Homo-oligomer: A and B are copies of this chain.
Amino acid sequence: MAVNVEINENLVKERSKCTFNVKELTHIFDGGEKLTQERKRLVNAILSVKELQDEVPELYLSYNERYENVVRKGILLHSVLKESKDKYGEPDPRILRRAQGMVFRDMSPFLLHLGMFILTIEGQGTPEQQSEWLPKAHSMQIIGSYAQTELGHGTFLRGLETTATYDASTEEFILNSPKLTSYKWWPGGLGSTINHCIIAAQLHINGKNHGIHMFMVQIRDLETHVPLPGIKVGEIGPKLGFQTVNNGFLGFNNFRIPRKNMLMKNSQVLKDGTYIKGPNDKLTYGTMVRVRVNILSDVALYVAKAATIAVRYSAVRHQSQLKAKEPETQILDYLTQQHKLFIAIATSHAYVSTHAWMIKKYFNVVEDLGRGKLDHLPELHALTCCLKATSSRDGATLVEQCRLACGGHGYMASSNLPILYGLATATVTYEGEHTVVLLQTARYLMKAWTAALQGKVLAPSVSYLADGMKFKNQMWQNTPEGIIEGLYHVAAGKIKDAFNVIQKHVKAGKDYEDAWNLASVQLIKASEAHSRAILCDGYWRETIRNSMTTSTGVASVSGYLAQLYIVYWGLETSGDLLMYSNISREDVTVLKEKYEVLLTLIRPNAVALVDAFDFYDQDLHSTLGSYDGRVYERLMEDALKSPLNKEPVNQSFHKYLKPFIKSSKL
């Protein structure tokens, strides 16, 4: 970490209190010591290139300068990554994301090139297409994006309006955007950066619509970068976050592409226009499922960064007096502050755990799919939907909670907390809008409930529904296991209630779809409850499992964090527990005490716990969160870089203010 800098004395004291092996916990968070080493190697390569760090904070640059700066850095980073890849092979996706974060405070305009563009060629291109496009894409001779959403359509894929009409006479597809709402809208890098794009469009052959298919489209001249005739392309303007990702719009006017540009791994169009439907459309779900699983680990990083910034700041900051005659209190000593921050630390670990077992599950299902076995796909899909929804929402809330815990200074862009929130909250909407994906899980849960009623065998993640009807009179246990069991009872109860609401409306004569809509607020809550039980359960099991192999110090502090997470959610949903489990009012009071004790137990290790996330200052981009704790110095240093501070008097004084003051004197 930092060397030869003076560390704030509060942080020195905090670190001296640590009771566990910080490096050991870092390895767990990274997914193993090997991954930590791999990460550090890549990070050091990045840090050795000075031009990858900004001298002037991004927000002081003009709109175009900001964009130009990230293009410059994106290309530099590509070279560093390539060198590393040539030497050591493809890095783990999580390491890649952390590497990106050291260069871009926000996001790279090449994000979708490296992500969706290449992934889709790999997933949906034929071997010939792959061998033609992938080498060019990897060496960035073609730079691409992935264009699915339109101005008028996001969630509802079938509603997309862009058309690709086959012309057998020339063996071409003709692309069109019939209306304003048909314009592609959002793809990263599309605005001014890329020259190719994968387009989702309705395939029309001889007047028949065969639904959405993917097409490789060159949109700009490779020599001049000028958009090709028939293409209208541009950037969509500023957003809450992702400012430097260069999101764009794209419209087609009779734009022709060769037949071989349709991605034909699954369905195909022959020369004469014959359409051959692929063996299984569900295979294309794979990419989406994986992207959603990875959101868990992205969110874990956002929350961990926010927690690191807020905990270190809270160790340095002193405010008010707990006791009249004592010095001002370190704000980390206020229980209310611990209440805001420690749950964020625990949540990062919970998501890393959950991500680990979900990825395993994902690869098992992919293996099955390869053998034509589709049985586990619905369960996996339902799981990723609700976990994506819950983790993104909770994650964004926690980042914001950390920001608010830093008071006014958390509102400063230089704290980086506002930018982290912009990134975290985006995950709530992208790759499956929050409410929409919760309802997808709910659909699965309603089917599972029906199956449970019929006494059928249930998939593992919903097997508790069989128990949910049985174990009603068991004694409440105020233990992690007891709370987890209670949370499963809550989920089962909410699933049952929502099911009954639908039935009630159907019996009253409503269509099933209308009944579904009328029950949808409860359906969402059922999905959330299901997700909550699974998160707590998975995290606890993983913690127990890890504790078998870790040192006592790490096992102990990890155990406190996991207990905190479970007790926190027990208390947050105590109303549901009182409603659906056998918890008593007295048990809730005991839980509150337990929670307060856990905060106190975690307190001495708070700074060491965020140190264990092992973020470099260049990761955090924060005046409040740096390892050395030079909070106030950095706030001032950053402010002094403002262009307004480069001049003693801004021209607006002479132009507007002075003439006005003179005139008002008269």
Interface positions of A (Cβ within 8 A of B): 57, 59-60, 62-64, 67-68, 71-72, 75, 78, 139-141, 143, 149, 151-156, 159, 180-181, 183, 185-186, 191-193, 222, 224-227, 234-242, 246, 249, 319-323, 328, 333-337, 339, 400, 403-404, 407-408, 410-414, 418, 421, 425-426, 428-430, 433-436, 439, 497, 511, 513-514, 517-518, 520-522, 524, 573-579, 585, 588-589, 592, 595-596, 599-600, 632-633, 635-636, 638-645, 648-653, 655-658, 660-661, 664-665
Q: How far is the CB of A233 from chain B (nearest CB, A)?
A: 9
Q: How far is the CB of A253 from chain B (nearest CB, A)?
A: 15
Q: Contact check, A63 vs B60: say whether CB atoms are below 8 A apart.
A: yes
- Please report the C-alpha to C-alpha distance between residue A344 and residue B236 in the assembled complex, in whole angstroms: 28
Q: How far is the CB of A592 from chain B (nearest CB, A)?
A: 7
Q: Contact check, B411 vs A429: say whether CB atoms are below 8 A apart.
A: yes
- Please report the C-alpha to C-alpha distance between residue A180 and residue B636 in the assembled complex, in whole angstroms: 9
Q: Contact check, A660 vs B426: say whether CB atoms are below 8 A apart.
A: no
- Please report the C-alpha to C-alpha distance between residue A242 and residue B418 in the assembled complex, in whole angstroms: 13
- Please report the C-alpha to C-alpha distance between residue A653 and residue B328 in the assembled complex, in whole angstroms: 54
Q: Contact check, A655 vs B237: say whether CB atoms are below 8 A apart.
A: no
Instruction: Report if A656-B75 is in contact (Cβ < 8 Å); known contacts: A234-B639, A322-B513, A521-B339.
Output: yes
Q: Can you report 14 residue pairs joining A to B where beta carbons are below 8 Å apart?
A: A60-B237, A63-B642, A68-B655, A72-B652, A72-B656, A151-B632, A180-B632, A238-B413, A239-B413, A239-B418, A246-B644, A322-B514, A323-B513, A334-B520
Do most interface residues of chain A lie in helix, strand or loop, or is the interface mixed?
helix
- Please report the C-alpha to C-alpha distance between residue A59 and residue B237 in the assembled complex, in whole angstroms: 9
How many subunits of this chain does the assembly comprise? Answer: 2
Instruction: Report if A225-B639 is in contact (Cβ < 8 Å); known contacts: A67-B644, A439-B336, A513-B322.
Output: no
Instruction: Report if A639-B68 is in contact (Cβ < 8 Å); known contacts: A75-B660, A191-B644, A407-B429.
Output: no
Q: Contact check, A652 vs B335: say whether CB atoms are below 8 A apart.
A: no
Q: Contact check, B191 vs A632: say whether CB atoms are below 8 A apart.
A: no
What would 7 more interface pairs be, CB under 8 Å, given A78-B660, A234-B640, A240-B418? Answer: A62-B62, A71-B656, A143-B661, A183-B636, A237-B414, A518-B600, A522-B592
Q: How far is the CB of A376 from chain B (nearest CB, A)?
A: 26
Closest to A651 in B: B68
Instruction: Report if A141-B661 is in contact (Cβ < 8 Å); known contacts: A237-B57, A413-B238, A642-B234.
Output: yes
Q: How far is the CB of A291 from chain B (nearest CB, A)?
A: 16
Q: Contact check, B636 vs A320: say whether CB atoms are below 8 A apart.
A: no
Closest to A648 in B: B226
Instruction: Report if A521-B154 is in contact (Cβ < 8 Å); known contacts: A225-B649, A328-B159, A660-B75.
Output: no
Point out the residue from B141, B143, B596 that lies within 8 Å of A521, measured CB to CB. Answer: B596
- Please report the C-alpha to C-alpha distance between residue A192 and residue B657 in the assembled complex, in whole angstroms: 11
Chain B residues near A651: list those with CB within 8 A. Answer: 68
Q: Contact check, A665 vs B407: say whether CB atoms are below 8 A apart.
A: no
- Please report the C-alpha to C-alpha distance between residue A152 and residue B592 in the assembled complex, in whole angstroms: 33
